[in-house]
Structure 1
Amino acid sequence: MSALTWLRRWQTIVQKLRVVSDSADEQALIEALSRTEAATVVGFVNAHAMNLVSANADYYDALSAADVLLRDGSGMAILFRRLGREPGLNMNGTDLIPKLLAAFKGRRVAFWGTEEPYLSNAVQHSEATFAVDVVSAHHGFDPVETYLNLARQYQPELVVLGMGMPKQEAVAARLAASGEPCLVVCGGAILDFLGGKVNRAPQWIRRLGCEWVFRLASEPKRLFTRYVVGNPMFLLRTLICKKS
């Protein structure tokens, strides 16, 4: 792939990112998303996503089709500053999605992703904590058509996808194209967190922007390539980028 291709993809994604300036802006976004009546996709863009964008055209197409993209992680803050832009708040899904669930109190929700028993744990925890009505819970390993059928059958108002990149973005794009009137959120490991499979880093580590170190230490085999190989590649590409 030529440098021009991945640079163009990066520029498109960065330009589309919705920078959230403060907590009031975040709350306004949550309220707007909770009132949407059309098919709407929310995605999160971190360093891993940008690496995938560089190499995977299908993923780039699916991610760039999202209605709202949010800046996630310290790596993306570095990229924003390199480009002379303010990065705003760190909008990771692990923090934002519980707030969205709270905004959907009493409404129909679907959890698609992870595996048992963590999926059932996530359902029980979310119904007890956020008072949502989880009408559909399904693991994240079926073909895309399975989730399209589930959307038609159960008609959730909020769909939380916990399949990981790049599958969840592909599923989200297809759901949006189907016209089902729901909010679709690409949640990565959120169902694992809600279901007790994965623990959050302590707050002081998160404040330092080093939650990825905690996750790598917790799941070294699964996350080695993403962080140990991927982070240096992301930073190298960040150095190549410059202010337009």
Structure 2
Amino acid sequence: MIRGASDTDSMRSRRNILGIQVLVATRRDAILAIDEHFSTSETPLVTFLNANVSNIAAKDPSLKRALDRSLVLNDGIGIGLSSRLLYHSDFPDNLQGTDFVPQYLKETGRIFRIFALGGIPGIAERALEVLKAIAPQHQYVGSHHGFFDAGDPAELYSIIRASGADFILVGMGTPYQEKWAEKFSTTFTGVPIICVGGLFDFLSKHRPRAPLWVRKLRCEWVFRLAVEPRRLWRRYLFGNVIFIARLAKAYVRGGRVSGDRQETM
């Protein structure tokens, strides 16, 4: 069980993907799991695991700790491949954050006062306008760009608290967003946070999204690489090779696993 999760949450099935416990759920069940996690966890933090996040966490203990303290959802073809190899079964749905987070906000049974943190100036604010149209039941109480003094967070904390937010979307890229979210959640307990990666850029149209058919094939990374090769070539070309090598090593060392594991502590 992830630390701080409730007894109900601990009964949900998880799969160990290269050392990270990942929830096994359909989209609908993931929404219910997040609501439960936010209601009962001491660290109500939700993160996503993809190949890049997995690679970074393997070398960054502080990111690994943040993931261990959160409810982790599967994101992308690499994690699906890992599940098929190690557990003989893919995850029920690809819970890719850019599509899933807006769906969560639309369908959750909770009502939030939402603050968005991340991106260049103006991007988070524009993204919140889009989310208002998708999930109008919530209040959208403030935003802040992702360029601030991480060593002196008092001013940013004060802005967030003054907004009256009880839910935060953090989109600053891995590992910065996860580390910030864990630090904030341990300072201000009980405030739910979801790490959303590039969601603000896509919602605001600052960066283009892949066509729907590409996303259904779980090949959005190919589209992103084609659009931004100079920024992303190392992550996808080298990173994917590294991830596959790590997966192969884990398979050889640990053998295949049959069925899902109920992880408890």
TM-score scaled by length of structure 1:
0.85
2:46 is the alignment partner of 1:42: yes
**52-61 vs 32-41, which deviates more?**
32-41
Which residue of the other structure, out of 145, 154, 164, is the alignment partner of 1:139? 145
Aligned match of 2:79 in 68, 76, 80?
A: 76
Shift of 1:237: 1.1
CA distance in 2: counterparts of 1:180 and 1:112, whole angstroms: 18
Name the CA shift for 1:219/1:48 in 2 (closer, same or farther; >3 Å).
same
Asked if 1 retains the 8 angstrom alpha-carbon contact of 2:18 and 2:247, the reply is no
Check 1:26–1:176 CA distance in 2 against 1; reply closer, same or farther (3 A cut).
same
Deviation at 1:65, TM superposition (A): 2.0
Q: How many Å apart are 1:123 and its aligned residue?
A: 2.2
1:164 is paired with a residue whose SS is: coil
C-alpha distance after superposition, 1:124-182 (max 9, x if no partner): 22223322322120011213414433343334121000100010001110111113322
CA distance in 1, matches of 2:250, 2:18: 9
Give the % identical residues.
Answer: 30
Deviations 1:63-88 (A, max 9, x none): 2222x001111011111122125331
CA contact (8 A) 2:102 2:134 kept: no
- Aligned in 2, Cα 1:129/1:23: closer, same or farther, shift over 3 Å? closer
33, 41, 51: which one aligns with 1:29: 33
Q: Does 1:214 align with 2:223?
A: yes
Q: Flag the structure with higher helix content.
A: 1
For the residue of structure 2 that corresponds to 1:140, the secondary structure is coil
Structure-to-structure mapping, 1:94-243, within 5 angstroms = 94-102=98-106, 103=108, 107-131=112-136, 132-144=138-150, 145=153, 146-242=155-251, 243=255
Q: Supply the distance in 1 between the matched residues of 2:195 and 2:164 (Cα, whole angstroms).
A: 18
Q: Distance in 2 between matches of 1:84 and 1:12?
A: 14
Q: Does the 8 Å CA contact 1:114/1:140 hold for their aligned counterparts?
A: yes
The answer for unaligned runs of 5 or more in structure 1 is 1-8
Note if contact 1:18-1:69 (Cα within 8 Å) is conserved in structure 2.
yes
Structure 1 position 230, deviation (Å): 0.6
In structure 1, distance between residues paired with 2:225 and 2:236: 7
Aligned partner letter, 2:50: N
2:38–2:44: 8 Å Cα contact kept in structure 1? no
2:11 counterpart of 1:12: no
Q: Alpha carbons of 1:93 and 1:236: their partners in 2 closer, same or farther (altered >3 Å)?
A: same
**Amino acid across the alignment from 1:168:** Q
Q: Can you list the C-alpha shifts for 1:27-59, whole angstroms capped at 9, x where unaligned?
A: 423543565685400000000011101222222
1:65 has 2:72 as partner? no
Shift of residue 105 of structure 1?
A: 7.7
Choose which of 45, 56, 62 in structure 1 pairs with 2:60.
56
Unmatched runs of 5 consecutive residues or more in structure 2: 1-15, 258-265
Query: Matched residue pairs, number?
Result: 232
Question: Alpha carbons of 1:140 and 1:84: their partners in 2 closer, same or farther (altered >3 Å)?
Answer: same
Could you say what secondary structure the match of 2:19 adopts?
Answer: helix
Aligned CA RMSD, in angstroms, stands at 2.3
Distance 1:37-1:167 versus aligned 2 partners, 3 A rule: same
Q: Which residue identity is paired with 1:83?
A: L
- Deviation >4 Å, runs of 4+: 33-39
